[in-house]
Structure 1
Amino acid sequence: MACRISELVLDCREPERLAELWCKVLGYVVLDRGEDGVEIGPEGEGFGGLRPTIVFSPTDEDKTGKLRLHIDVNPTDRDQAAELQRLLDLGARLADVGQTGEESWHVLADPEGNEFCLLRRRLEAEPPSRR
């Protein structure tokens, strides 16, 4: 038997702010709020579904340095250029991590500096169900 990613946990200074941004980025909803943070995930699917939830866990530490793990996102209902503009309008910003300018993806950062990449390839909005 193998494991499956059920949730991603991001330590952050402002869980509500990041939860709001990432809900808009991914089309997720807030599933739970508590002292341990804010959990977001797909509406109607929640924890344990096919797609992992994200928990924004409060910390007093600032992000420093490059993360060893980052999130890649793909457009589902528009091309990459239109999705890039939408993400920038939501509060993401372009990030320089040493790209050459020839990449097929864009590196962005959320309001706390967590890098993520917007890939070019469009995916279906909903993952295929397992049979």
Structure 2
Amino acid sequence: MALRPVLVNIKALDDSAVGRFWAEALGWSVSSREPGETNVGRVGFDWRDPARVCVDVVAVPEPKTATKNRVHLDLATTSAAHQAELVARL
């Protein structure tokens, strides 16, 4: 079996807010197994499914120190109009 991405892990001061943002952006759901961890994924997510990936946002106590974010997710839209609607909504 080939390696494949299954999880994107993001560190944040407010895991819940960042998790809600990504859930809204992707149209996915939010869950949490424990305080300080927000899980974002499609309903019925199964990490063994080769076509699935999820996002975990984990709370950290220290603020970001770099001026640039260290994680960038490139997302595909269906058209320029779809992209404009998504940006306006978020």
Closer, same or farther in 2 for the Cα pair 1:48/1:76, shift >3 Å?
farther
User: In structure 2, what residue type is equivalent to 1:16?
Assistant: S
TM-score (norm 1): 0.56
How many percent identity over aligned positions?
A: 26
- Offset of residue 38 of structure 1: 1.1
Q: Contact 2:37–2:59 at 8 Å: present in 1 too?
A: yes
Q: Deviations over 1:60-84 (max 9, x none)?
A: 1212222343111222585222222
**Higher helix content, 1 or 2:** 2
Q: Distance in 1 between matches of 2:86 and 2:54?
A: 22
User: In structure 1, what residue type is equivalent to 2:8?
Assistant: L
Q: Deviations over 1:61-120 (max 9, x none)?
A: 212222343111222585222222112xxxxxxxxxxxxxxxxxxxxxxxxxxxxxxxxx
How many equivalent pairs are there?
87
1:85 to 76, 85, 88: 88
Counterpart position of 2:69: 67
Runs of 4 or more, structure 1, over 4 Å off, are none
Return 5+ residue gaps in structure 1 as ranges.
88-131
Counterpart position of 1:115: none
Closer, same or farther in 2 for the Cα pair 1:9/1:31, shift >3 Å?
same
More relative contact order, 1 or 2 (CA 8 Å, 6+ apart): 2
Describe the SS at the equivalent of 2:30.
Answer: strand
- Offset of residue 14 of structure 1: 0.6
Q: Distance in 2 between matches of 1:83 and 1:35?
A: 29
Which residues of 2 match residues 11-90 of structure 1 at below 5 A?
11-35=11-35, 37-49=37-49, 50-65=51-66, 66-76=68-78, 79-87=82-90
